[in-house]
Structure 1
Amino acid sequence: MILYILIAVILLIYFWFRKRYSFWKDHGFQYLEPSIPLGSMGGVGFKEHLSEFMKRQYDYFKNKAPAFGIFFVANPVLILTDLDLIKDVTTRHFESFHEREFYINEKADPLWKNLFTAGGQEWKDLRTKLSPTFTSGRIKMMFPIVAEAADRMVEYLKPQRMLNEGLEMKEVYAAFTTEVIANVAFGLDIKCLGHPENEFRKIAKYIFDPPPWVNFKNFMIFSVPKIAKFFNMTLNPQFVTDFFMNTVRDNMEYREKNNIRRNDFFQLLLDIKNSGEGITSNEIAANSFIFFSAGFETSSSAMTFCTYELALNQDIQDRLRNEIEDVLENYNGEVTYDAIAEMKYLDMVLNETLRRYPIIDSHLRKCVKEFKIPNTNLVIPAGVGILIPVVGIHNDEKYYENPEKFDPERFNEENAKNRVPYSYMPFSEGPRICIGLRFGTMQAKIGLVKLLRNFRIFPSDKTLIPMKYSPSSGFQAPLGGMWLKLQSIN
């Protein structure tokens, strides 16, 4: 009897999957054939990184259809290949795609109810409240905090620069940006460089490099959100939630009790709260958390891949260093906000880094209202998740000749004017473009300028050539770290 029941259950599951896997065929879309039970992405996170999967599938389908379907386990997701359609989704018909396909368990996981995950009017209201905190003037006020942390990074590196095997620089950059974001997002002057046991650094590592079972759990949460909701699953473990909620609460109480004001992101959130505009303590914690999580990893990853390419392209490194020194001559050798704004080649180098290695390799949206793709008979059903394969588009020879070559001249003034719209979008496009892009690029630029003024950067024996990615990393990350050699200039 038990055997018959077991066979019946297996057959029911099998036919449910088969029915589910007919979704894209029923809607007339080309799709990547899935396999029970993991769908189209069985090797992602184990054998290959998501960016490698995304680029390969984009290259296969880009000339076949404006979009194609895949399955995250049993969850249908549409990947866009046509730039005009991407413009529709991100900008022209934003009202049909204003949400992100993201699982939120607000009660058990309050930190994930933030600007990144919010949708509809809630997102619009929150964006309106937070936008003034990311103006150029406000970011300029935070410049000294970032510059001081960059100076500490340089001092930390000086006695270690000539190690034969090189230094694992991704961790150095991550420690630097963790210090910065902890300071501006929470007002805490912490030390991570040389202190890997620091609680902020340990939490940051856990978020972006969790144990394999956590990666699998999070993949399942995204793939089968209804089941995740039924079992009350959370993306953050309780100790991460408790750490950030307690940190915010303690910091708020300390500032209010001692009448302390600082030029940082946390103070700006407190000012919004005290102005009566409707932001709660939980929203302060949630948005400080997402600013911390996104801010330290994106900037440190950009620095990681930028210095990798500078090590492999010494002529580009020399030209960039010369520009830095030439500009700083007009500022008495002092690295200032205005001086960095004048460094056009630095901007070109960083833009090319983000083209070649887009830190967020795929942007996420959700179709909230049925949408017919122009000039086709294809209709995107409401409720479907959307992925924009930035890594594929940025490395498409149709838009960038010889895309594997690192060439900052792609972003000189003339080439920038001729670039195909929506072929470069490291921070997304449209109303949901990254609100913190100015701060993130400023942070990376300050770190790079301070580094290049003090060191020449070379590949070491452990440098990955060609680049290989860690399959389980949330963002693109070099397998085994980024090992580079530094040679003191002064």
Structure 2
Amino acid sequence: MSMTVILLTIVIVLFATLLLLLHHRLSYWHRLGIPHDKPSWLLGNLVEAQRTLSFADISRNIYLKYKGTGPFCGFYFFHRPAAVLLDFDLIKNVLIKDFANFADRGMFSNERDDPLTGHLFLLDGQKWRSLRNKLTPTFTSGKMKFMLPSIIEVTQNLVDVLGEKLQVDNVVELKELFSRYTIDIIGKVAFGLTCNSLRDPNAEFAIMGRRSFSESRHAPVVSGFMQSFPNLARCLRMRTIHDDVSEFFMRLVREIVEYREKNNIKCNDFMSILIDLRNDKKLRGENGEEKCLTVEEMAAQTFVFFIAGFETSSTTMSFVVYELAQRPLLQERLRREVLATFAKHNNEFTYECLNEMPYMDQVVSETVRKYPIVPHLNRQALNDYVVPGHPNYVIKKGMAVIIPSVGIHYDPDVYPNPEQWDPDRFTPEKVEQSDSVRWLAFGEGPRNCIGQRFGLMEIRIGLAHLLQKYRFSICDKTEIPLKINVKSFLISSLNGIYVKVEERGTTS
């Protein structure tokens, strides 16, 4: 037998083996009799992702399609079988009651080669627990009050910049303006820097921040491989963050830490809190070893503070103003509450003001119900889990678990007429009566969003100051309904959000 025939035979055998393995993997849910959509050989159930459908569309569609068929349905995240939860009792078990078995997210991180991925959102196991325990005290109400003056300073700059824009044109694009506002807040509060991107969109900090969020290092297929097989991707020393972005943030944090420690400088910001943690010799592990933060860990936490804080908050603010611009009566209702709150505190915004605007809370809650920035939550089973009351439904060890937040938020049995924006869904009485897992804008349970309090604070402060001085309304450039960017994992508008803005007196 010639060498050519032997090599050809080996290739055919290997190819056939690969096909059999793929078929076996992609028939997992079929063999178990669990409802699911038929997967494609290459992309699983993500064939239309970032082409004709967003991740939010896919998450919502599968939830609404299979709701009522069982406690969960099957899904293929590329070639990785995943369970999409459909039952509220099961969702509560995964997020809260049986959290110990679902504490991990199972997403790609690589602290060794990609240090900025070693942050709280991506880490699992004991590393996550240790870091969460260290960072939780940094987001208490006391620490938020500590950061308030910096946020107020940037917010006043936003009000001034918007006023200057109106001298040129009273039609304003909100998405870009608010993203620069939240970039300046994060720069100030997390890094102690005056970024001034509100006046200079090309500031280096703003450019690097946008690149870290919007420019993927890899094509979608490669990124999908890394999330489907995170352990293998780590062994291959793969990275997700661009080298220059990583070098910029690492250098920035290292220089700030060295300068402050050398000169004993204290500031009202997140970096100062991290430096205190870094130097706290009382932080020790189970074996007595010191567990102080390293510079790499500090850089990773400030990095995730940045990417999580600026885009989600700015997008939510944009959606709030967009909805209020279409409903002048509700806008006036919220504005009256804002003016009354300012008047009660001598026309100054204090930390106490945040708890004195209940309708503001309703408006923001309904906005992130209709536009949940992150469309679903990820968890991973640490051990086999038999769904209570459903012995044929087993979430196997290592399996990805998806909680479709956007699907729940658009469930007509939970929120009647879900396409309608209605803040009265979230009156204090209704919130008290509702199940917590039916509103998952910030997650739920021990692994909920640690920065929820901060994110809501900057949103409410920004909106309060804007409504105090400006009126928003629709115009010819206002897109109704909004077109959503299918290429973005987060829910965001495709073409920007344009509204008409008018300045008015504080008593009008």
| TM-score in terms of structure 2 length | 0.92
Alignment of 1:368-383 (within 5 A): 368-377=382-391, 378-383=393-398
Tell me how far apart the structure 2 counterparts of residues 361 and 33 of structure 1 sit (CA, whole Å).
Answer: 22
Work out whether 1:326 is the aligned partner of 2:340: yes
Map of 1:51 onto structure 2: 56
* Partner SS for 1:267: helix
Alignment of 1:186-335 (within 5 A): 186-210=191-215, 214-276=219-281, 277=283, 278=291, 279-335=293-349
CA drift of 1:7 comes to 5.1
- Superposed, 1:4-153 pairs within 5 Å as 8-153=13-158
* Secondary structure of 1:422 counterpart: helix
* 2:460 is aligned with 1:445: yes
Shift in Å, 1:11: 3.5
1:259-311 deviation digits (Å, cap 9, x = unpaired):
21001111111101111222221111111111111111111111011111111
2:361 maps to 347
Q: CA deviation at 1:430?
A: 0.8
CA distance in 1, matches of 2:310, 2:89: 32
| Letter of the structure 2 residue corresponding to residue 123 of structure 1 | W
CA distance in 2, matches of 1:166, 1:456: 12
Greater Cα offset, 450-459 or 243-252: 450-459
Take 1:226 and 1:119, find their aligned partners in 2: how far apart are those partners? 12
Could you list the runs of 5+ residues in structure 1 that have no partner in the other structure? none
Partner Cα separation in structure 1 for residue 18 and residue 206 of structure 2:
42
- Distance in 2, Cα, partners of 1:165 & 1:210: 31
Q: Which stretch has the larger CA shift, 3-12 or 53-62?
A: 3-12
How many Å apart are 1:199 and its aligned residue? 1.8
- 1:400 is matched with 415
Query: Aligned-pair distance for 1:8?
Result: 4.9
Contact 2:195 2:206 in 1 (8 A): no
Specify whether residues 227 and 164 from structure 1 end up closer, same or farther in structure 2 by C-alpha distance, changes over 3 A only.
same
For 1:83, give the aligned amino acid: F
Give distance in 1, aligned partners of 2:177 and 2:107.
31
Residue among 369, 372, 376 paired with 1:362: 376
The alpha-carbon distance between structure 1 residues 256 and 465, as it changes in their structure 2 partners (threshold 3 A), is same
Alpha-carbon separation, structure 1, partners of 2:211 and 2:82: 27
Supply the RMSD in Å over aligned alpha carbons: 1.8
Q: Using the alignment, how far apart are the partners of 1:375 and 1:155 within structure 2?
A: 59
Alignment of 1:396-435 (within 5 A): 396-435=411-450
TM-score by length of 1: 0.96
Larger Rg: 2
The offset of 1:13, in angstroms, is: 3.3
CA contact (8 A) 2:56 2:489 kept: no
Deviation sequence 1:373-395 (CA, Å, 0-9, x none) = 01112110000111111011011
Counterparts of 1:16 and 1:210 in 2: how far apart (Å)? 33
Q: C-alpha displacement at 1:180, in angstroms? A: 0.7
| Cα separation, partners in 2 of 1:212 and 1:432, compared to 1, 3 Å | closer
Partner residue of 2:401? Answer: 386
Distance 1:6 1:336, change over 3 A: same
Amino acid in structure 2 at the alignment position of 1:184:
V
Deviation at 1:243, TM superposition (A): 1.1
Task: Tell me the SS of whatever aligns to 1:329.
Answer: helix
476-485 or 453-462, which deviates more: 453-462
Q: Is the 8 A contact 1:146 1:443 kept in 2?
A: yes
CA 162–7 in structure 1, closer or farther in 2 if over 3 Å, else same: farther
Structure 2 Cα separation of the partners of residues 260 and 230 of structure 1? 41
**What amino acid maps onto 2:361 in structure 1?**
D
Tell me the distance in 2 between the aligned counterparts of 1:31 and 1:161: 52
